[in-house]
Structures are given as C-alpha cells and as structure tokens.
Structure 1
Amino acid sequence: MATVTETIRPDARPLVRRGVLAVTLSVLANAAVLTGALALDVAPGFRALAWPPVMFLTVGGAVGAVAAYWVLSRVSETPDRHFTLLAAVLLVLSFVPDLVLLSADPAATVAGVVVLMVMHVTVAAACVGALTRRVGVSVPTDGPSVEADDE
C-alpha cells in the first residue's frame, strides 16, 4: 500500500510584504542619514558617502537580509531568533571594511566612517524589525493566519 504525503507550502505573501517593508525602511532611513551627513559636510570628497553607492549597497544589503530570512524560515524551527543572531554578527563584521577605509582612503574622516557605521545599524534594525516579530511590526495578510511563537 502506497503512502501519500501532502506537502503544504507556506504562503510567501507575508514575507514578501515584510521584505518590501524592510527594503523601504532601510532606504528611507539611510537617505535621511546621508542627507544629514552631506548637509553637515562630514567628509568632503569621501566617495563612500554619495548617493549611488549608499543606495545600491542599502538595497543590496536589505535584499540579502530578506533572502537570508527566507532561507532560515525554511530550515530553522526558530527563524526569528537565528536571523537576529545572524544580523548581529554580520553587523559587527560590516564595521571592518569601514574601519579599513580610514587608512585606505585619504578622503575618509572619522565622522564619515561613523556615518557609514550608523547606516549599517539602520539597515540591520529595519530588517530585523520588519522581518521578525520582535518589535511588533504588523503587516496585514490576505487571510487568517496563525502565528506561532518561535522562542
């Protein structure tokens, strides 16, 4: 006698909505930080503090975070916890290239590098907040849902 196993695929729409929210919040937050940094002229000539690289890397980082959360949601019993830990580790590691810029780029200033680090923090906070249920961000779904506590 053959056994039939039904595979139920989770609805991806809530994650897509939270992913769009994460990317949008990241872009808006870093746009505000960059606008302030440019207005204060914290690092004249420091190319890392320009619109194209900041927006490109902000979107790339946030999309990478969404992809990481998607993978974790499929392989982990506690994706929120694992994603938060992964985000914290990657945030600390993301400061290393910024610090290297102080010695590698003559236009880099301490204030300019601190601004880059603040932008890393804003993307991490936006992504953790939007993708996990740790900070109470609620994105409506199209139907009833049961949210399990993954702690």
Structure 2
Amino acid sequence: MSQRTTTIERLRQPVAGYGLPVRTVVALVAALLGNLAIVNLAISAALAPDLMALSYPPVVFLTTVGVVGAAVVYWLLSTRVDSPTRTFTRLAMGVLVLSFVPDIGILVVDETATAAGVGALVVMHVTAAVACIAFIPSGD
C-alpha cells in the first residue's frame, strides 16, 4: 500500500534537510508574508480601522515571538520525545485553538474591535501555525 504525501509534508521537503535555525527563518518569513498581507487587506478594507492589533508593528512583533517560541518548543521536544514532529504538530494545533480565546476577548472588551477585524486576527493565527507546522519540524 502506498502512503500519500500530505500538503504539509510536501511543503516541508525542500527545507527538511536544513538545521532548525534555517527552518525557523523560513517559517518566520512565510508567517510574516502571510500575516502582513492579511493586515494590508484588513487595513485596505477598513475591517476595524482603530483596532491596534490590526497594524503592522504588533503583527510583526507577535508573529516573530510566536514563531521563535514554536522553534524553541520544537527543539525541546526533539531532545525529549521519540517523534517530535508528530508531537509538535499536535501541540501546535492545541495552541492554535487556545490562541482564539484572546481574539474573542478582544471582540468582547475592545470597542474598536469588529467581528471582521477579529476574524482577520484568527486567520493570522492560522497562517502562523501553518507556517510553523510546515517548516519548523524536520519531518522525523
């Protein structure tokens, strides 16, 4: 029986042979490009014009912190578990779901927030998570 390759595995193949620092930079660039495009669209569409979370500086800073944090977690897992890629992927999916909680909180407590603006934040979290899951693990 042949095993089918997933899209994530196909994305990972070109960088899987490089060290964690290179894979982290690739994940960071992918996450930043995606998230900055989303911010640009959100600003252009005036989804939440006064929502500070939908501006370039916090998005760049928080995306960078998130990706570097994910790389540290992967490194720790790679020194402690037998299948770090699988464990990292599952953990990242759980963290992704938890990352939606503050977004929902923003919608509740920040009067400048709109549902569309918070939706853009959620999509940015998914974008960063996909970049981390695709590029940080070596595939082992």
Per the normalisation by structure 1, the TM-score is: 0.79
Q: 3-state SS of the aligned residue for 1:75?
A: coil
User: Structure 2 residue aligned with 1:50, among 48, 55, 65?
Assistant: 55
2:79 alignment partner AA: R
What RMSD in Å do the two structures reach over aligned CA positions? 1.1
Q: Which consecutive aligned stretches of 4+ in structure 1 deviate over 3 angstroms post-superposition?
A: none
Residue 9 of structure 1 corresponds to: none
User: Structure 2 residue aligned with 1:82, among 84, 87, 91?
Assistant: 87
1:72 maps to 2:102? no
- C-alpha separation between the residues in 1 aligned to 2:78 and 2:27? 16
In proportion to residue count, which structure has more helix?
A: 2
Report the alpha carbon displacement of residue 43 of structure 1 after superposing the two structures with TM.
Answer: 0.5
Report the alpha carbon displacement of residue 133 of structure 1 after superposing the two structures with TM.
Answer: 4.9
User: Structure 2 residue aligned with 1:124, among 111, 126, 129?
Assistant: 129
CA deviations 1:14-39 (Å, max 9, x no partner) are 11111111111111110111111111
Per the normalisation by structure 2, the TM-score is: 0.84
Listed as ranges, the matches of 1:8-47 within 5 Å are: 14-47=19-52
- C-alpha separation between the residues in 1 aligned to 2:51 and 2:29? 25
1:100 maps to 2:112? no
Q: 3-state SS of the aligned residue for 2:52?
A: coil
CA deviations 1:66-121 (Å, max 9, x no partner) are 11111111101000000000100000000000001111100000000000000000
Report the alpha carbon displacement of residue 131 of structure 1 after superposing the two structures with TM.
Answer: 1.4
2:105 alignment partner AA: V
Of structures 1 and 2, the larger Rg is shown by 1
Q: Percent identity?
A: 46
Q: 3-state SS of the aligned residue for 2:37?
A: helix
Aligned residue-pair number? 123
Residue ranges of structure 1 left out of the alignment (5+ in a row): 1-12, 135-149
Report the alpha carbon displacement of residue 132 of structure 1 after superposing the two structures with TM.
Answer: 2.5
- C-alpha separation between the residues in 2 aligned to 1:35 and 1:133? 31
Residue ranges of structure 2 left out of the alignment (5+ in a row): 1-17
